[in-house]
Amino acid sequence: MQTARPISRSDQPDPGVLLDQVASIIADIAALELASERDIHAATPAQRESVRNLIHYIALRRHDLRRLQRDLAALGLSSLGRSESHVLATLQAVATALAALGAAPPPIVPESPISISQGDRLLKRNTLELLGAAPARRDVRIMVTMPTEAADDHNLIAQLFDRGMDIARINCAHDDPGIWLRMVAGLRAHAGSACRLFMDVEGPKLRTGPITDGPRVISWNPPRSPLGTILRPALIRIVPTGAVLSASASPLADCTLQLPADFVAALRPGANITFTDHPGRSRSLLVTESIPQGVLAQSSHSAYITPGTEFHADRPARLRCAIHEIPPGIGVIELRSGDHLLLTADQSPGEAAVRDAAGLVISPARISLSPPRIFQDLRPGHRVMLDDGKAEGIVERVEPASALLHITRCRSGVMKLASRKGINLPDTDLGLPPLGDDDLAHLEFIARHADLVGFSFVQRPEDVRLFREALARVGRPEIGLVLKIETAPAFARLPELLLSAMESGPVGVMIARGDLATQIGYDRLAEVQEEILWICEAAHVPVIWATQVLETLAKKGLPSRSEITDAAVAERSECVMLNKGPFIADALSLLDDILHRMAGHQDKKRSMLRPLSVALRFPAH
């Protein structure tokens, strides 16, 4: 058996050399702090120590610390890897230890640094001020986006609050003030002030313009297996013309037919309805059951119904009708890799490509973008992400009011682009104003009802100051402000944005991972969200972890394995946001349990070494 060679002192790093490196970093910190005096004094008195520490962290991270970290760890000292909230105190402790090992005097640290316990207390204080008290069973708050139905279903609000919702979110990009007011009333009736209200303005969201209506057609197709076997018949809801459907009216139906009221009233289970569809095929529907407002029927064949289609029922005999009113379909433009798309400032309805008899493109598909001012900032070579990343293109040519886009990638091979879809321009630094007219109007509602406000698509420090000025005009300059980091420029300027926000009132940061991933690339998201967490901890600023948390569970009722892991990692933030979905209450319960369990294992970047059940069960023999 070979014995391990004892480690000689020559294998150990030289404490004196390491002390010189640490002293150099401390000197750089002092220099950057001196150069940043204006930023430090501009902060509120309560935030000045946090601003100082943020400056220290920026100076620290200008160095490549990897070799120094390995050498410090070899000597059994702190490797600086958990120093975010108390940078100078960690460096001072390391320098003192190195000085003792090398019998040299430690460097002089400017002023009294924030201690480890002080850094933790500052973050907890700021989190409490912005997000409210944490629940008893976990330190991380849970924010839930209110669905439209919460305006009238106050039992849903009560259920969410009872299952662990700490903050309710109203997204001002959807619904209207009347709906928001009913949501607020329900929230206050069931939770009072125990649940905080977060509202975010839409900001300068780039969207596709209108598209020519699709054909007037109603269609269905029975679900099939990959081999073409019918898995179940298509389910068709038949109701009187003009009926307003409720959520309970057979929500599992594949489509709805609105037929004359006397025809629908006469239908009974067992009736067979025959018709000829648009391609000229004989088709039938079997009425299976009565439902609120009508009947449910099923079909084992696909069908296409257009205005004028006649229906005949065999019971009662000679019952017939025709359908005349079919609303136009939602217009879409089909795109494939290699296609061209003309982006225009002209807001007339977009259209698909025009092709000749051989299928060759005569003129490319066309769609407008809003706001039209973006064409001033687009340049050839810039990337354009359509429908929040479902397709990607490169700008080939730019005119004053248009740009020709070459489609380079479609996520599913063929993409159907609709109106009002989000557009991302990751290479374009847009000079758009941070607040539009709608945003300014919504701020008046937010000022009356919300506890904190989200600033969407913030990009520059001056944007933050303009937003605070707008809040002052509506009487709430002190309201908690959450910077939503969802663009590449916002991430690049995060320290400057924080410094500007810390000049007044409580501040937080939301990692809006959906838009951010589209802008920076999904391959960089894990790295970037880590950097945001580090920078915010250095500033003692609470973080909201948002977008697609347990999304499959919330929307489909069953989570994916990766979603569970993602939710567990979210414990490193101060708040986790859930988006709406039919199973949002189940997602909330699961997230509450995950965060409760992880609280004993993780505190920011620190692993908490509580007793492990596997260790306690390990046999003694």
Look up the CATH number of the domain holding residue 399: 2.40.33.10
Domain assignment present for 169: yes
Give the pLDDT of residue 338: 92
Give the pLDDT of residue 227: 84
If you average pLDDT over residues 16-39, what whole number do you get?
94
Same-domain check for residues 154 and 75: no
Same-domain check for residues 244 and 284: yes
How is residue 276 written in tokens?
């000829």
Same-domain check for residues 464 and 586: yes
Q: Which domain holds residue 88?
A: 13-114
Q: What percent of the chain has pLDDT over 70?
A: 94
Give the pLDDT of residue 613: 58
pLDDT band for position 4 (cuts 50, 70, 90)? very low
What is this structure's pTM?
0.81
pLDDT in tens, 178-227: 999 999 999 999 999 999 999 999 888 888 999 999 899 999 999 988 88
Give the pLDDT of residue 619: 66
368 pLDDT higher than 60: yes
**CB half-sphere exposure, 394, CA atoms < 13 A:** 7
The tally of domains found in the chain comes to: 4
249 vs 296: CA distance, rounded Å: 10
Query: What are the phi and psi torsion angles at 411 (to 5°)?
Result: -60, -35
Same-domain check for residues 97 and 231: no
Among all chains, which residue has been given the structure tokens 């347990």? Answer: 550
User: What is the overall mean pLDDT for the chain?
Assistant: 90
Domain assignment present for 177: yes
Same-domain check for residues 475 and 568: yes
Domain containing residue 493: CATH number: 3.20.20.60
Give the pLDDT of residue 325: 86
- Contact between residue 169 and residue 145 where contact means Cβ atoms under 8 Å apart: yes
Rounded to 10 degrees, the C-alpha dihedral 459/461/466/471 comes to 90
How is residue 580 written in tokens?
């709406």
287 vs 296: CA distance, rounded Å: 6
Same-domain check for residues 415 and 535: no
Give the pLDDT of residue 7: 46
198 vs 584: CA distance, rounded Å: 18
- Contact between residue 398 and residue 421 where contact means Cβ atoms under 8 Å apart: no
- Contact between residue 286 and residue 240 where contact means Cβ atoms under 8 Å apart: no
Query: Which of 344, 487, 386, 497 is closest to 428 using CA atoms?
Result: 487
173 pLDDT higher than 50: yes
50 pLDDT higher than 90: yes
Rounded to 10 degrees, the C-alpha dihedral 533/538/543/545 comes to 10
493 pLDDT higher than 90: yes
Of 424, 451, 482, the position where a domain reaches its end is 424
Domain assignment present for 619: no
Query: What are the phi and psi torsion angles at 275 (to 5°)?
Result: -165, 165
Give the pLDDT of residue 1: 44
437 pLDDT higher than 90: no
How is residue 150 written in tokens?
């919460």
pLDDT band for position 617 (cuts 50, 70, 90)? low
Same-domain check for residues 139 and 71: no
When mean pLDDT is compared across 80-84, 377-381, 410-414, the lowest value belongs to 410-414
228 pLDDT higher than 70: yes
Same-domain check for residues 467 and 318: no
If you average pLDDT over residues 252-272, what whole number do you get?
93
Q: What angle do CA 47, 52, 53 make, to 5 degrees?
A: 100
Same-domain check for residues 504 and 397: no
Give the pLDDT of residue 609: 54
310 pLDDT higher than 60: yes
Same-domain check for residues 413 and 514: no
Same-domain check for residues 140 and 258: no
DSSP H or E stretch at residue 18: helix 15-35
